[in-house]
């Protein structure tokens, strides 16, 4: 199974303290893709604004829970 996340669910799931669910899904073999533009919005801009969820998402990226993909079209993933 493949899941493609946009910013809103990524931010809110993390804000409510349920980011562990992404790790659990990844452990079950689910491929979780975050488009590069979403990563920029959530992590890069979020860190500039001091949002704690940006730090958590960045740590999950470092753990390879999410796969960051560069998308050239809306149907990239």
Burial class (CB in 10 A: 0-12, 13-18, 19+), 10: buried
Residue 34's nearest CA partner among 47, 46, 43 is 43
CB 16 within 8 Å of CB 52:
no
pTM of the model: 0.83
Stretch (H or E) spanning 23: helix 20-27
pLDDT in tens, 3-59: 999 999 999 999 999 999 999 999 999 999 999 999 999 999 999 999 999 999 999
């Amino acid at each position: 199974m493949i899941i493609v996340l946009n910013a809103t669910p990524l931010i809110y799931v993390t804000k409510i303290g349920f980011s562990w669910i992404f790790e659990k899904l990844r452990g079950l073999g689910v491929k979780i893709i975050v488009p590069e533009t979403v990563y920029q919005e959530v992590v890069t801009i979020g860190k500039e604004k001091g949002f704690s969820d940006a730090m958590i998402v960045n740590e999950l990226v470092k753990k390879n829970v999410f796969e960051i993909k560069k998308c050239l079209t809306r149907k990239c993933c």
